[in-house]
Structure 1
């Protein structure tokens, strides 16, 4: 919804594809949904689901508002989320936990046919686009690269031509982690299996290598978000009355504008870079011991450790000679299309970018002599590799819809907004901690977003209204809260022993899983502590009360 000026000077509100004259919109003070007008007698009447209103902004210009009624069931509104979190702690399995939360949520809202709920969720345009992107395009592109051997050929090219010692070997691992920004699991598998033989020759400990691989998977996917993540997150950011989150394009634009505030992800990637060049300002005691052990004795794993067996995931066709540019050209097209559309349209067109890269990768393979059956076989293998992730995404998206219907966010707003007004600058840090707990319990970033965002964003917006923040300060506060949820999920996912990226990072580098978890945790916690201080300082000084 936006307020605009007609050529004749009259003002109107553009809402649901209609132009409504501002003279026909009620002043905010007279709106039946103004909290000051909601007395007991008003509450006995049937209220409209939403009304339009206007008020004078700080610049003296009229502002258009959409006021909506959001219903909740008190403390019961949080039951689906709490059920999912509790099941995560008990079962250590995200799919069952999300399904349990959905069952409880469906009973709470009186819709007992959960299959119909899932169908309705898939039928949403955003959900369908997300599944097409994640299941078809991302999986298909990865499958083509696996069948042609292009990604591994590029990684081996870097390894053989750039590795001259331990530092350069670690830098190659870090660089590959940055380039494989499509998703955490894909990055961990490709980087880990490719760099491990070279790293072993250069006496790089398993703990050090697995930490580099893990810390350049999900954190990089957040920072270089030309992947499925923005498409998944944006439907979860809908907050009634927030103009800069009104449309899908607005929410995607907001996602990318907030990336400079992803302090934890930035510090995680920067920290592994400094570790790669042996300039890390802080290294935990156990990691120092592992580095010294490998360099001086050549013992890559700790005594008594039980390394996960590294497996070769290369499914390249035996009769096909891989070509380095088969990876470079589609990747360049993917990044270039996303950046160009971001510059021209204000939000990157990720579907266009992945479609162009997918078509180019397949076309090159066919032109260079790969049979159509082999190519389709590679695509099918790629689709199979992301089926489980797609199921998690579907359940997570549906969980987000259920959370919005049960009014969990509205309940938190009514419960906490007044209590947090005096210490509002602590909310980003609190949301960061909440996201860490959920992600560490579930082992999934995307599932955490579905649980936390529908609660966090309405609460953050309620505080901005209660504080009467200026428009720029309100945007910054919302951006900080968004970034804290985004990064808290990444931290929890990265450090959780049940996370797929954690397990794959240990598996594909041949590291003991718990050795990997214990040795990376001190560095990750240090980065998280610094990021929390930065978020709190920005909230305190950057979002002052009028």
Structure 2
């Protein structure tokens, strides 16, 4: 057994020991969590709100001060002399009406103090040590499950998480639809035909291939997994043909996915975030329209998103001053040897998707790639415009059926199409399992309350100019530990925005709205940094998968330029509030 394996075994053993200790000896710290929805009155006079397009009637509303889920009441309900199980709140949620007559949904949440970071620490440490994300994620899940007392791992943890609509949707999209589409493109030679066409007409070398990738990243500004998958699958064949290293490509795809969504925010982000940033008594956050306006006014302060996109452009222009040693080495390796992966790399994209297997007599055409891709983009964009959210499953499903239909019309046998589809599934099955485990550990990390603990460390006695930097650092750690930016928003915003306003009031700032905008931007951007750099993030995994990169090579190579961008952004936020707030 080598040294790394011995150390990994020691980490796992200690993790399991401490997980049992936490479950049996560490008390939970309960915190009030409040959520503001866009409520309205129905024709019959009942209070209601919309959830996933359906009307939900609100019942059993109580005054805020009477709710057992109010922070003061949660504190009073805890008696250290009684058994921990009796400290659990009797309610999982409750609608209340505050002094401003606004309806707010209260939910209790808890953390175990510093121990709440244990599953994320175990997972990330093992990822960095062993370069094996599958076992690392599983180890983190086991540790988290034991901390929660869920010893039946299959029935209490894995199956309930797989049964969630969001998890099933991820597996449907990234295993069946994405994998099937890539497999058919490989079987028909469509991806290779597209690469040949782009190389002949537009791509003259690695630089132009990277520039096209960057421009596509800006074009698909919806952010997150949608942008990652669209850009990654589109540019992979032409970038491979132009001999661009997989580390460079995965960084370009990942660094233009979520950061650009902060800068060109005509997407689903503002509608989601605005519901989390209500602060009682703050006039410019009073209504949904006010909060949306606040979001867009704060875009110039999204320094990390702006710097990350500019830094990626510099790499595309072969200016690698801020790219870090690993990316420079990858670039030189690809130029001198033609090797797109580092020695010993284990790309997430399997060999089934790395070579064409076109049946004899079948003539590939570039339109077999372009027509499904245009259909995919058109459906995603049009459904976002008309329905309010992009229907990605519809888009990929239509592209898959169109690709198969074109192949059938051109004479390819159904057997060959099914064979290509099957090869596509095999090509992404490992990445899909990793993605599934990442979703599960993100859910466990949220339930254990690691993010809540980090935010609760802050106090109102901080110097005002230090608060944006601390919010940035804490959200970076939360998102890195949980692998999700949107999940971090749900944790951080309801705590960070009232804290920022309290600092404004207590320290008498002359420009409180600007200070609030900067604090808002630090949470928004810090969460994107952590999500982008985390080895358990879906966008990180998908960036590596769609570009054919080794996951840990991608994580380690993009960490340096991302840290450069985050450091510069932190300095700009601090200077902004110090001189102008």
TM-score under structure 2 length normalisation: 0.67
State the shift of 1:52 in Å: 1.6
1:192-251 superposed Cα distances (whole Å, 9 cap, x missing partner)? 42112xxxxxxxxx7xx66653432222444688xxxxxxx99xx99997799xxxxxxx
Indicate whether 1:52 and 2:101 are aligned: no
1:481-515 superposed Cα distances (whole Å, 9 cap, x missing partner)? 24422233324669xxx98967997989xxxx99x
1:338-375 superposed Cα distances (whole Å, 9 cap, x missing partner)? 11111112211111111111111111111111111111
Could you say which residue in structure 2 is the equivalent of 1:12?
A: 47
More displaced 10-residue stretch of structure 1: 465-474 or 414-423: 465-474
Aligned in 2, Cα 1:277/1:156: closer, same or farther, shift over 3 Å?
same
Does the aligned pair in 2 maintain the 1:67–1:240 contact within 8 Å? no
Does the aligned pair in 1 maintain the 2:42–2:48 contact within 8 Å? no
State the shift of 1:530 in Å: 3.7
Could you say which residue in structure 2 is the equivalent of 1:199?
A: none
Aligned in 2, Cα 1:105/1:20: closer, same or farther, shift over 3 Å?
closer
Extract unaligned runs of 5+ from structure 2. 1-36, 221-226, 262-267, 280-291, 503-511
More displaced 10-residue stretch of structure 1: 472-481 or 85-94: 472-481
Indicate whether 1:182 and 2:229 are aligned: yes
Could you say which residue in structure 1 is the equivalent of 2:366?
A: 324
Number of equivalences: 483
Aligned in 2, Cα 1:367/1:243: closer, same or farther, shift over 3 Å?
farther
Aligned in 2, Cα 1:94/1:536: closer, same or farther, shift over 3 Å?
farther
Indicate whether 1:71 and 2:110 are aligned: yes
Could you say which residue in structure 1 is the equivalent of 2:61?
A: 25
State the shift of 1:143 in Å: 0.9
Distance 2:258 2:105 in 1: 31
Indicate whether 1:213 and 2:249 are aligned: yes
Could you say which residue in structure 2 is the equivalent of 1:463?
A: 496
State the shift of 1:186 in Å: 4.7
Indicate whether 1:314 and 2:355 are aligned: yes
1:391-449 superposed Cα distances (whole Å, 9 cap, x missing partner)? 111111111222233233343344446576954312453046537976xxxxxxxxx51
Could you say which residue in structure 2 is the equivalent of 1:429?
A: 472
Aligned in 2, Cα 1:431/1:376: closer, same or farther, shift over 3 Å?
farther
State the shift of 1:27 in Å: 2.7
State the shift of 1:465 in Å: 2.9
State the shift of 1:533 in Å: 4.4
1:313-355 superposed Cα distances (whole Å, 9 cap, x missing partner)? 2223142211111111111111111111111122111111111
More displaced 10-residue stretch of structure 1: 415-424 or 458-467: 415-424
The residue correspondences of 1:36-435 to structure 2 (distance < 5 A) are 36-38=72-74, 40=76, 47-57=90-100, 62-116=101-155, 117-163=157-203, 168=208, 171=211, 181-182=228-229, 186=233, 189-196=236-243, 212-222=248-258, 264=304, 267-274=307-314, 276=316, 280=319, 300=336, 313-319=354-360, 320-416=362-458, 422=464, 423-431=466-474, 433-434=476-477
What SS class does the counterpart of residue 300 from structure 1 fall into?
A: helix
State the shift of 1:82 in Å: 2.5
State the shift of 1:140 in Å: 0.8
Could you say which residue in structure 2 is the equivalent of 1:449?
A: 483
Aligned in 2, Cα 1:138/1:243: closer, same or farther, shift over 3 Å?
farther
Does the aligned pair in 2 maintain the 1:220–1:269 contact within 8 Å? yes
Distance 2:426 2:417 in 1: 14
Distance 2:258 2:517 in 1: 20
Distance 1:425 1:109 in 2: 33
Distance 1:7 1:506 in 2: 54
Does the aligned pair in 2 maintain the 1:144–1:378 contact within 8 Å? yes
What SS class does the counterpart of residue 317 from structure 1 fall into?
A: coil
Does the aligned pair in 1 maintain the 2:307–2:565 contact within 8 Å? yes
What SS class does the counterpart of residue 70 from structure 1 fall into?
A: strand
More displaced 10-residue stretch of structure 1: 283-292 or 530-539: 283-292
Aligned in 2, Cα 1:140/1:271: closer, same or farther, shift over 3 Å?
same
What SS class does the counterpart of residue 112 from structure 1 fall into?
A: coil
Q: Give the aligned CA root-mean-square deviation in angstroms.
A: 5.1
Which among 526, 540, 545 is matched to residue 484 of structure 1? 526
Distance 2:542 2:374 in 1: 27
1:67-106 superposed Cα distances (whole Å, 9 cap, x missing partner)? 1222333443332222223323433322222111111111
Extract unaligned runs of 5+ from structure 1. 197-205, 226-232, 245-252, 439-447
Which among 42, 48, 70 is matched to residue 34 of structure 1? 70
State the shift of 1:121 in Å: 0.8
Aligned in 2, Cα 1:220/1:364: closer, same or farther, shift over 3 Å?
farther
Does the aligned pair in 2 maintain the 1:429–1:535 contact within 8 Å? no
Distance 2:472 2:113 in 1: 25
What SS class does the counterpart of residue 216 from structure 1 fall into?
A: helix
1:14-55 superposed Cα distances (whole Å, 9 cap, x missing partner)? 49955347xx63332343333344563686886433222112
Distance 1:48 1:491 in 2: 36
State the shift of 1:269 in Å: 4.6
Does the aligned pair in 1 maintain the 2:383–2:390 contact within 8 Å? yes
Distance 1:184 1:410 in 2: 34
